[in-house]
Chain A
Amino acid sequence: MSVMSGSDQLHVVTSDDITPGRVRFGKSLVWGAAAVLALVALAQFAQTAGWYDFGFDTWRPTLYAYCLWATALCWAQVITRGEHGKRTLFVLPAALFVISLTVFPLLFGLIIAFSNWNLSSLSGRQFNGVANLVQMWNDPFYWNALGNMVIYVLAILVEYAIAFGLALILAGQIRARKFWRVAFLMPLMLSPVAVSWMIGKSMLEPRFGPLARLARSLGIENPSFFESPWMAKLTIMVLDAWTFIPFMMIMLLAGLQAIPKELQEASRVDGATGWKSFWEITFPLMLPVSVTAILIRIIFKLKLADIVITVTSGGPGGATDTVTSFIFREYRERSNVGYGTMLAMVYLVLIVIAMTVLMKFANRLTKPRT
């Protein structure tokens, strides 16, 4: 993630004359819209509490009022601050969008996480303190899922090695480069759900699947890919790797192509060949790209769910569960949003800690030589 240099920014001197009346108008616009929002929300609250019937069936009117307020806020930027407001207008819509769609639900999620809330029962939400945390602590399946995530993430190293090898070949002198690139990119384009049927359910089918036939012709009797826990885990890893190796490969390829040719030529003149040239020149130069690729891959891996949900639904005995698929199943079976949200929140905290440590470590790895 890049660090911005201040020098390439746009510096324009502007002279706006903004009359006090215009500022007043802009401010009243924002506050007016905010007042409307507050009123609508209040009315809605009164409605849900059963004090008075405004005819608001859902919270939709509040949503509309919120959109109105957001628009007013953006518009008022230009009115009250002129040219500077126009600049703010570039970033403000995206920021408002992200804040209202993540920060607000996250805060809301915190409330849910500490409650017992079965969506299918009529009793509604009940605050239950740390009961969810206690339940989580004693839930072997959650810890099992977390353990699985660690194993899944470790598999990225193998994916990285394969992707690097392919990228090296693709960056070399080969014919029909475009064909190979398109072919290698294909798995990434396919929807994981379709892939999980195509490969997970039909090609790996123990009786008629072509891979099972192949395994049988190689002398393995009764090949099964999802029966023993480790085999199932491995199969899921392979399936996921199949989809995402192209992603790493493309990033590494871009990195390889950015290495100046002179460096490799110089190393060849100096007598370094093959392995040596790779370890002494290419690999160190590729370190920053590799770190970026691996970090992004880890981020994607932590979201792994669709393949697991559709192929094994966590089985056998939770051996292939990821945290996401576990929570998904937990919700589907008991429709208790409170417990699921607590699990997700704990997962988020763990991820943030792990990613921060990893990024610190990665920074040190890429910038040690001073």
Chain B
Amino acid sequence: MTDTPVQIFRDSDTDRGFRMKWWASRTAIYGVLAFWAVICLFPIYWTATTSLKMAPNVMQGQMVPFPQSWTPEGDWAKKLFYAPKWKGWESIGLSPQTLSQESTVRAEFLKRFGNSTIVALVSSTLAVVLGAMAAYGLSRFRYKWAWLKNDDILFFFLSQLILPPVVLALPFLVLYKELALLDTRIGLILLYTLSVLPIVIWIMKDQFETIPTELEEAALVDGLSIWGAFLTIIVPIALPGMVAAFILSLVLTWNEYFFAALLTSTHANTLPVMVASQTGSQGINWWSMAALSFAAILPLIVIGVVLERFIIKGMAAGAVK
């Protein structure tokens, strides 16, 4: 009879020990998660808030934008809060006041933004179209071109990944000069398509291999041609993979700097070139730079938040076999 309470007591002791351990591990895990999230997100927060600063705020290192009228009294508040100003956004003509006025800086910014958008969209589309076709062909038919078989052709495409841009850069510079393609968007589009094509082929091949061939066989029996079957049956099924490849290409081409810096000068500059050319000049205001940087990364932040699962799907392709 007297054993029972002792038994219960002992159980609850181990129980408590177990729970302690569980809580400790939970705290550690969420601690690490929070720590890394700060590392990942703080630069973005820093850029966004710096674009609303003025010189004194930068020098005093205040961190949190807060309306002046609500700011509480006290030294700690002065060290932490500052009154946001639109100065940085004014410098690229995107502040609320300047938005309604004519602005040359805004026109300049929008031109670069437009260049980036067009180049990224067109080259990603081109890469997905070419890459999806090639990946489909390689996953369905057996080719033999001279001594090259399917695996060799696939390796040829994927090996382009290894090619560093710098090897192509200078020959292209000379070639484009001869072809009058220097400083044009078409020139950039061609190169960007080339640089993302291997990644697209990799992702799409992975995607097509998960689709059973019986689907096309049935379609062919029903009288569709092979291209008809590809376009009406396979492409809709493979659409998630295509979107993933497209988004990934979009991210890579939007951010590309090296080729753009070498091959464009005045007309076809993309946003990264504009941002980089500002960093070079001394005496540029932090708030203008922050506004420009933030405007350049904002589209991708939006894409990242909204289309995250496609990006992850794209990158996970080929990781798991």
Contact in complex: B320, A258 (CB < 8 Å): yes
Cβ–Cβ < 8 Å partners of B280 in chain A? 310
Q: Which residues of A contact B261 (CB under 8 A)?
A: 309, 328
Q: Does residue A157 face the partner (Cβ distance < 8 Å to B)?
A: no
A169 to B151, CA, bound (A): 37
Q: Is the CB of B276 within 8 A of A203?
A: no
A-B contact count (CB 8 A): 319
Contact indicator A189/B300 (Cβ below 8 Å)? yes
Tell me if B305 and A182 are in contact (CB < 8 A): yes
Q: Does B37 contact A (CB under 8 A)?
A: yes
Q: Is B233 an interface residue (CB 8 A)?
A: no
**B61 close to A (CB within 8 Å):** yes
Chain A residues with Cβ below 8 Å from B174 are 108, 112, 117, 119, 337
Show 26 residue pairs from A and B whose CB-CB distance is below 8 angstroms, ordered by the A residue. Answer: A1-B318, A9-B141, A90-B230, A91-B134, A93-B130, A95-B156, A109-B170, A119-B173, A169-B32, A181-B312, A183-B37, A183-B40, A186-B40, A250-B311, A250-B316, A253-B316, A254-B315, A255-B320, A288-B321, A292-B319, A306-B258, A306-B276, A309-B258, A324-B165, A340-B170, A347-B164
Contact with B along A251-291 (1 / 0, CB 8 A): 11111001000000000000000000000000000001100
Q: Is A134 among interface residues, defined by CB-CB distance under 8 A?
A: no
- The answer to whether the Cβ of B243 comes within 8 Å of any Cβ in the partner chain is no
Complex alpha-carbon distance, A32 and B153, angstroms: 28
Docked complex: B90-111 residues within 8 A CB-CB of A: none
Q: Interface residue count for B (Cβ, 8 Å)?
A: 110
Interface of A is mostly: helix
Interface residues, chain A, CB within 8 Å of chain B? 1-4, 6, 8-10, 12, 57-60, 63, 83, 86-91, 93-95, 97-98, 101-102, 105-106, 108-109, 112, 117, 119, 165-166, 169, 172, 174, 178, 180-199, 201-203, 208, 210, 213, 242, 246-247, 250-255, 258, 288-289, 292-293, 296, 299, 302-303, 305-306, 309-310, 323-324, 327-328, 331, 337, 340-341, 344-345, 347-348, 351-352, 355
Choose among B154, B164, B272 the residue that contacts A193 (Cβ–Cβ < 8 A). Answer: B272
- Central interface residue in B141, B194, B305, by most chain A CB within 10 Å: B141
Give bound CA distance, A188 to B303, whole Å: 12
Residues B286 and A289 in contact, CB atoms below 8 Å apart: no
Asked if B8 is an interface residue, CB under 8 A from chain A, the answer is no
B-side residues, CB < 8 A to A, are: 29-30, 32-33, 36-37, 39-41, 43-44, 46-47, 50, 58-59, 61, 63, 130-131, 133-134, 136-143, 150-151, 153-158, 160-175, 177-180, 190-191, 193-194, 197, 201, 205-206, 209, 213, 216-217, 220, 225-227, 230, 251, 254-255, 257-258, 261-262, 271-273, 275-276, 278-280, 286, 289-290, 293, 296-297, 300-301, 303-305, 308, 311-312, 315-316, 318-321
- Cβ-defined contact, B140 with A9, below 8 A: yes
Decide if A254 touches B319 in the complex (CB within 8 Å): yes
Q: Is the CB of B304 within 8 A of A189?
A: yes
Which residues in A have their C-beta under 8 angstroms from that of B297?
Answer: 189-191, 194
The 6 closest A-B pairs by CB, nearest first: A90-B137, A254-B316, A94-B134, A191-B255, A109-B171, A193-B272
Cβ contacts under 8 Å, B160 to chain A? 98, 102
A191 touches B194 (CB 8 A): no
Further contacts, 11 of them, CB under 8 A, given A189-B300, A191-B254: A1-B158, A2-B205, A8-B139, A8-B209, A165-B32, A183-B36, A189-B251, A190-B301, A197-B293, A210-B61, A299-B161
Closest B residue to A1 by beta carbon equals B158
Q: Which residues of A contact B272 (CB under 8 A)?
A: 191-194, 306
Which of A189, A199, A254, A331 is the most central at the interface, judged by chain B CB atoms within 10 Å of its CB? A189
Quick one: given A98-B157, A172-B29, A331-B170, are A203 and B43 in contact (CB under 8 Å)? yes
Identity of the chain A residue whose Cβ is nearest the Cβ of B33 in the assembled complex: A180
- Bound-state Cα–Cα, A118 to B142, Å: 47
Contact B171 A341 (CB under 8 A): yes
Known: A91-B137, A98-B194. A305 touches B258 (CB 8 A): yes
A186 & B130 in contact (Cβ 8 Å cutoff): no
- Cα A248 to Cα B38 in complex, Å, equals 19
Question: Given the complex, which residues of B lie within 8 Å of A83, measured CB to CB?
Answer: 226
